[in-house]
Amino acid sequence: MPRSRGSADQEYAYYDGTAEAGDAGRDRGDSASRRGARTGRRTARPRPSAGRVFAAWASTLMALAIVGVSGFLYGAVHGLLGSINRVNLGLGEDTSPGEAMNFLVVGSDSRQGLTDKQIREMHLGRDECDCTDTMMLVHISKDQDKVTVVSFPRDTWVRYPVRTQNGEQRAAREGKLNAAYEYGGPELLVRTIEQETGLKIDHYLEVNFLAFVNTVDALGGIEICLEKPFRDRRYTGLDLPPGVHRLNGVQALKYVRARHVAGTDGSDLGRTKRQQEFIGAMIRKASSSETLRSPTRIKNVLSSVVKSIKADENLSPQDLMTLALNMRNLSPANATFVSLPIENPDYRPPSAPTVSAVKWDEEAARQIFENIKNDQPVTAPPKSTGTVQKVTVPPSKVKVRVYNAAGTPGLAARVSSDLEEAGFAVAGPGKNWETGPFEQTVIRYDSQYTESIKTVQAALPNAKVEAVPGLGPVLQVVVGRDYSGVTPVRVGSAPAPQQSAKKVEAKTAADAKICKKG
């Protein structure tokens, strides 16, 4: 997770989408010509919104469910889904049937499929880039009757993992989350999210502007209620008086993207409440709309939508249809939205003190991701870590070596760095474990070092412990997918008891504002 690393950061370059535009162009190839010879910081440009990304995704699933139930045009729609553009991300084996799933859903800056007239009408501008500014984790429960959506702030400061591209190894570096796509494409974005959250991404979906506009129009528009004037003349050109409004696709896109609304601070974080309310309205409309009960119209809508999305290589048309059928009765009350709690909205990274970034509240974020991993509500209290033991050996006297058994590139180096910062003596560079992947981290130790193991346990309280006779003085930390950071260790007392759960604010689609007429 984003964190201050002090002077250790100096060995990593940072990347915010501008400082190394040439390097990004070489990595991505297809984007260099569009960026040209830009230098310095980017000028402001329209940013995709979390609201339009998830709403298009959810409404598309509902449309598929209706087609599947009716049976009419099933074959034609199945064929349409087979034409979705694919991205090879190397996500590994597909999720087993009946297991919870994590989708990474992103919004791209692509104008694909839009006419010049539509681009002007939507106030999108011509500065298209090979990037994404909206990133959302969509967790679907094991029973496929609940959905949890976590929005990632685009300016979150992260570390991109080590990776290999075009046969060359690219070093780990730091930068803003939204720049990961431009620097290394969807694959680097997925690996970075996995590294920062400790969660496995099962599937990837990328949505552009056209998919959202078409979905809203297919629903017959979405109704919103404004208590005061809504004016964003500078950015989207939207200007609405107080009262009830039914927004068409273009108007809805402007509404969820609006940044410079009169009477607000204009921040990305400030738009979250408005976007969540709009998503809720779309879900309620999609689940009850007669519009989506016309199979012919559904086919026409999906024919346009599938041209506007990309998916990973493992997400088959049958997977989408099965998922949609299982979720056809999703209640708005079971669609939960949460934004990561922010510790510092103007974080100045030690490696780039002139850059303003966003830093999560690590403890609260860890609680959210741990609950998602356990398929629990995001507001559930953290699990007990069991009985704590008094620490007698300082970390500096404990030798450890880290092994990556999670399959996440660069994880061993990251954990080694975390343990070094906590004071441990790391014996050599991290390595990959021979087997795996492991879900849970394991600490292996020689039974002669019963005091040293207590120190490592205090630093990694959720890890399993395995005694290995004859292992010697160097303890092995075999990192699994559950890794979420190192807990500071204090010698001479028992580890600090687990704090009560931080309050995590979450909304559901049923919580969204309902317009009252009259």
Domains for the chain: give ranges and CATH numbers: 6-373 (3.40.630.190), 395-479 (3.30.70.2390)
Handedness of CA 278, 280, 283, 288 (dihedral sign): negative
Instruction: Record the tokens describing residue 56, joined without a space.
Output: 């298009």
**pLDDT of 185-209, one tens digit each?**
899 999 889 888 888 899 998 887 7
Highest mean pLDDT among 170-179, 212-221, 239-248: 239-248
| 486-492 mean pLDDT | 81
482 touches 510 (CB < 8 A):
no
Collect all residues with Cβ–Cβ distance below 8 Å to 51 and sequence separation of at least 6: 256, 274, 275, 276, 278, 279
Average pLDDT over residues 86-95: 76
Structure tokens at 474: 């160097």
pLDDT at 402: 97
Among the listed residues 412, 215, 226, the one whose alpha carbon sits nearest the alpha carbon of residue 306 = 215
Rounded to an integer, what is the distance from CA 310 to the centroid of its chain?
Answer: 16
pLDDT interval class at 419 (50, 70, 90) = very high
pLDDT score at 259: 76
At residue 75, the 3 state secondary structure works out as helix
Q: Residue 140 has what DSSP assignment? A: E
When computed from its CA atoms, the radius of gyration of the chain, rounded to whole angstroms, is: 24
pLDDT computed for residue 196 by the predictor = 85
pTM: predicted TM-score of the whole model, two decimal places: 0.67
Residue 5 has pLDDT above 90, yes or no: no
Secondary structure (3-state) at 494:
coil
Calculate what percentage of the chain has a pLDDT beyond 70.
67
Lowest mean pLDDT among 38-47, 50-59, 65-74, 153-162: 38-47
- Residue 285's alpha-carbon distances to 62, 220, 475, 514, in angstroms, are 11, 9, 56, 12
In whole angstroms, give the CA distance from residue 242 to residue 352. Answer: 44
- Give yes or no for residue 36 having a pLDDT over 70: no
